[in-house]
Structure 1
Amino acid sequence: MGTSQETSGDGGLKKEKEAVYLRKKITLVRAISLTIGTIIGSGIFISPKGVLMNSGNIGLSLLIWLASGILSMCGALSYADLATSIKKSGGHYTYLLETLGPLPAFLRLWSEFVMIRPANLAVVTLAFGRYLIEPLFVPCNAPPTVVKLISAIGIAFVIALNCWSVSWSANLQTTFMVLKLVALGLIIIPGIMALAEGKTENFQDAFDTSSLTLDKIPLAFYSGMFAFGGWFYITFVTEEVVNPERNIPITVIVSLIVITIFYLLTNVAYYTVLTTGEVLASEAVAMSFADRTLPQISAAISILVAMSCFGALNGGIFASSRMLFAASREGHWPNVFSMIHIRRLTPVPSLVFMIPLVFLLIGIGDLYGILNFYSFSRWLFMGLVTFGQILHRWKYPDLPRPFKVPLIFPIIFSSTSLFIVGMSLYSDPVNTGIGCFITLTGLPVYYLTIHKQRLPKSFRETVDYLTLKMQVLMEVIPQEVKTY
């Protein structure tokens, strides 16, 4: 942990202990809990439908799940390399800033908080609301208005918790990680038992190509990669990780091996019990599975799935707020967002900022439309991050890299991500086109950001006045100790 240059001796230690900055509270266990707990959210419970619908058959869908795990591992190892050589929080934004420059970094930041983050949180929150109250309305579907109301309450609670305490949020994440694995276990065990008893008819003609459409394969990857999304969150909080040079690489390797195995077994269980038609017709695949195999405790499984989504919300909000915090610290966002609560030591402004757009997208409520809507920008910029890593390795060959991965990993991840993005423009031009357009709307905002002095003096004075008032209202100040 960095120390203030003005401090020395016992007095300096005391001053640092009382200073306002984000502490290193993410141990290895908490780091793994954050990663697994954020990856396993709603994806494995809703994405099987999207993967199957766009892959065309069971066999190819399972291969896409495996490929998504391998591709995620390539990306995660590449990000771990960057995290141990560029020791700043902020994830995608920070790595783009350090490798490709401020413009792509700002556009990633812009798309993150105008589109990607609100859409991602809305998808997971709506899944949380649906699974939580679905048992109350069986055999009917829960009313959409009630689902949205419960979802809004859930996201507000998670943000409030993260504003209150880092430790509480981290401990809750560990608890939810255990619940997530239990929920998957309750799906995997009955499915594998049924498979062992000879129930294999759903796997006949597993690679039937009659419904295969090659231009839909990128959309199948979007659904599969969405379920693995979250492996990068640990790099958002690098400055808060204890011994990041050791713990970040261990975290991503352990987490992705565990999750890939669990995801493949879960999908095999789904397809053993449910036909392809039943998977495609279900709005909640895990619930359809539970109703068929464990009807006595299907309500309990539904609640476990809801808690899984809740844990993913907690981890996603905890991590993504640090990107906004880091960008504000670099001068790419209003200064107030780089401030920390004087007693709680949490980035309150960055957390509260996420509420309005998330509520708006919850109101819209189309899960699959939202998923395709933001996937373009998300995977475009992650491909650019690992491309930037290749350039950074070439430009700074002597930079210390405590965890150095072979260049084949970022090459695979970059080329695959950019290929999928390019194909998606062809297979789903409307949603991906909207995502591209919204990303580019950040260009004029970037221009105003880097040329602040060209803005009218009255406008700048108004911003400074509002910043001061927000500081007083939220009881926040800039960090007092350098942490990188």
Structure 2
Amino acid sequence: KGAGNVVSSHPHSHPTKKEEEEEEEEEVHLRREIGLLSGMSFIIGTVVGSGIFIAPKGVLLNSGSVGLSLLVWALCGVLSLFGALCFAELGTTFTKSGGQYIYLLETLGPLPAFVRLWADFFFIRPAVSSYVSLAFARYVVDPFFTPCDPPAALLQVVTFVTAVNCWSVTLASRTQVTLTFVKMFALVLIIVPGLIALADGKTENFQKGFEVDALTLDRLPLAFYNGLYAYGGWFYLNCVTEEVINPNRNIPLAIIFSMVTVTVLYVLVNVAYYTMMMPAELLLSEAVAVTFANRAFQAIAPVIPVLVALSCLGALNGGIFGSPRMLFVGGREGHWPRIFSMIHIRRRTPLPAVMLQYPLVVVMLLRGEIYKLVNFASFSRWFFIALATLGMLIHRYRFPLHPRPFKVPVAVAVTFTVVCFFIVGLSLYSDPWSTGCSCALSLSGVPVYYVTVYRFLLPKRFRRIFSESHPGSLQILLEVAQQEVQTY
């Protein structure tokens, strides 16, 4: 120790910059590796998944007309942009990862934050992953079994293989930019022939586009749910704030550029669909893009399902990359088992948070009808998003001097929050079974919160699960450790 003290007191004994970098490289923590381009790719790559290729059926079915469905798509884009701007403010105000969880924790307290974690782990993320996985499997398998139904077992096998592939989070982040360009190419490949046909005079579906004979107001919220699902994913960049380079600049820019691009592309894709397909034909299609490809392309029609499947794969990768960070931060804050807050000592990824969520995806796959999964997850997802923006407004009022590098107009935040609560409220009337189950499952987290956060109510042998230290065979088996460097 004496020798060590002598060395440390010498003016030239400080470690060199190279030694400091090597020491930091050895420490277990998440790295800031997401720049503006990769941030945009992360948002676009997560937003553009199965929704634009499957949700048009649900939007048309519940809106009742071609014109109104296009209006729903445009309004969903504007609403999503409003929400994304609110999250840009939240992401620059609170610099921790974790997205909605951390924003609810900072603005409304630990109870709603814990319930958000509970809902995301047990059914929001599993339902969304199941939806995207089933879409991926359908687009891969459907062309080889038409006109027969593809075998259900094969769908589940393909979905399982996809999920296993997504466990490699590092690979998912590296390939996200490539998959985003694949998505953009797939959308452009749909848009171009549609616009050409529209220019040639194929306007039959638009001449009486706003006939609303089939519209019922109680089903309109479900049309917005399907549209908003297709735009879902703009909030996942906020889940990885601690891994974004210069987040005060890159998060707002990535969100704005990405959402404007996606909204324009989505509206044009739907115009292309209605140019080449009759509404009744679209409603009968289980894979809209495949039906469109058979109409628009003869020689390269089999290519479209492959591009769509890769698009779904990118969305699945993006969701599995972002969502576990919420559980990771929840474990770090003491609201979730500590094993979720650990990082693989070599890969530097939150391996337990990624891996331990997959079994619930398999369970959710057994629910059946693909559109029910959207309604099942959308209620809680949008309810908590609205709560987060409401919390932002409350935090503004309570702490007006708190630094906010990016500040969204109050009118935008209020409009987004009110519309979200309105749609969530109407959905209880439109689809009481799915939304009721979703609400009940979310509220079931309340008693769990009081048992786990106030750990003195637990038997002693269970308290250590949520304690600061969590040694055990699972930690050794997964080769994970607590984060050693504060990254916020």
TM-score tier after normalising by the smaller chain length:
over 0.9
Q: Distance in 2 between matches of 1:467 and 1:121?
A: 30
Structure 1 residue aligned with 2:237, among 215, 234, 237? 234
Q: Structure 2: 5+ residue runs without aligned partners?
A: 1-13
Give the superposition deviation at 1:29: 1.0
Alpha carbons 1:335, 1:467 under 8 Å: kept:
no
**Secondary structure in 2 aligned to 1:379?**
helix
Aligned length: 472
TM-superposition CA deviations, 1:185-210 (whole Å, max 9, x none): 11111111111000111112111111
Match in the other structure for 1:193: 196
TM-superposition CA deviations, 1:137-196 (whole Å, max 9, x none): 23333222211211111111111x11xx2xx32221101000001111111111111110
Match in the other structure for 1:265: 268
Alpha carbons 2:336, 2:466 under 8 Å: kept:
no
Moved more, 358-367 or 390-399: 358-367
Moved more, 449-458 or 386-395: 449-458
One-letter amino acid of the counterpart of residue 426, structure 1: Y
Q: Structure 1: 5+ residue runs without aligned partners?
A: 1-7
Structure 1 residue aligned with 2:259, among 231, 256, 259? 256
Give me the identity figure in percent. 51
Match in the other structure for 2:4: none
Structure 1 residue aligned with 2:351, among 348, 351, 360? 348
Q: Distance in 1 between matches of 2:156 and 2:337?
A: 31
Match in the other structure for 1:305: 308
Structure 2 residue aligned with 1:69, among 74, 77, 94? 77
Give the superposition deviation at 1:466: 7.4
Q: Distance in 1 between matches of 2:422 and 2:464?
A: 46
Q: Distance in 2 between matches of 1:305 and 1:25?
A: 28
Q: Distance in 2 between matches of 1:84 and 1:38?
A: 21
Q: Distance in 2 between matches of 1:337 and 1:313?
A: 20
Structure 2 residue aligned with 1:16, among 10, 21, 24? 24
Match in the other structure for 2:394: 391
Match in the other structure for 1:416: 419
Give the superposition deviation at 1:296: 1.7
**Secondary structure in 2 aligned to 1:340?**
strand
**Secondary structure in 1 aligned to 2:301?**
helix
Structure 2 residue aligned with 1:292, among 269, 291, 295? 295
Residue 434 to residue 462, structure 1, CA distance change in 2 (3 Å)? closer
TM score, norm. by length of structure 1: 0.95
Structure 2 residue aligned with 1:473, among 459, 467, 477? 477
**Secondary structure in 2 aligned to 1:297?**
coil
Alpha carbons 1:341, 1:347 under 8 Å: kept:
yes
Instruction: Confirm whether residue 452 of structure 1 aligns to residue 458 of structure 2.
Output: no
Q: Distance in 1 between matches of 2:460 and 2:389?
A: 40
Give the superposition deviation at 1:13: 4.3
Match in the other structure for 2:246: 243
**Secondary structure in 1 aligned to 2:387?**
helix
Match in the other structure for 1:102: 110
Structure 2 residue aligned with 1:173, among 172, 176, 190? 176
Q: Distance in 2 between matches of 1:171 and 1:458?
A: 41
Structure 2 residue aligned with 1:31, among 39, 43, 47? 39
**Secondary structure in 1 aligned to 2:95?**
coil
**Secondary structure in 1 aligned to 2:481?**
strand
Residue 131 to residue 456, structure 1, CA distance change in 2 (3 Å)? same
Structure 2 residue aligned with 1:433, among 431, 436, 439? 436
Match in the other structure for 2:9: none
Q: Distance in 2 between matches of 1:314 and 1:224?
A: 21
Give the superposition deviation at 1:453: 2.6
**Secondary structure in 1 aligned to 2:472?**
helix
Match in the other structure for 2:141: 133
Give the superposition deviation at 1:9: 4.9
Moved more, 467-476 or 244-253: 467-476
Q: Distance in 2 between matches of 1:65 and 1:140?
A: 31
Instruction: Confirm whether residue 372 of structure 1 aligns to residue 375 of structure 2.
Output: yes
Alpha carbons 1:119, 1:361 under 8 Å: kept:
yes
Structure 2 residue aligned with 1:483, among 476, 483, 487? 487
One-letter amino acid of the counterpart of residue 413, structure 2: P
Alpha carbons 1:151, 1:362 under 8 Å: kept:
no
Give the superposition deviation at 1:467: 4.6
Alpha carbons 2:45, 2:315 under 8 Å: kept:
yes
Give the superposition deviation at 1:340: 0.3
Match in the other structure for 1:142: 150
Match in the other structure for 2:125: 117
Q: Distance in 2 between matches of 1:313 and 1:188?
A: 23
Q: Distance in 1 between matches of 2:235 and 2:316?
A: 15
TM-superposition CA deviations, 1:326-365 (whole Å, max 9, x none): 1110000001100000011000000011111101112333
Alpha carbons 1:38, 1:316 under 8 Å: kept:
yes
TM score, norm. by length of structure 2: 0.94
Give the superposition deviation at 1:463: 7.6
Which aligned pairs between 1:155-174 and structure 2 lie closer than 5 A? 155-159=163-167, 161-162=168-169, 165=170, 168-174=171-177
Residue 461 to residue 175, structure 1, CA distance change in 2 (3 Å)? closer
**Secondary structure in 2 aligned to 1:298?**
coil
**Secondary structure in 1 aligned to 2:302?**
helix
- Tell which structure's C-alpha radius of gyration is larger: 2
Q: CA RMSD in A?
A: 1.4
One-letter amino acid of the counterpart of residue 468, structure 1: G
One-letter amino acid of the counterpart of residue 246, structure 1: R
**Secondary structure in 2 aligned to 1:22?**
coil
Structure 1 residue aligned with 2:55, among 47, 52, 62? 47
**Secondary structure in 2 aligned to 1:296?**
coil
**Secondary structure in 1 aligned to 2:429?**
helix
Match in the other structure for 1:4: none
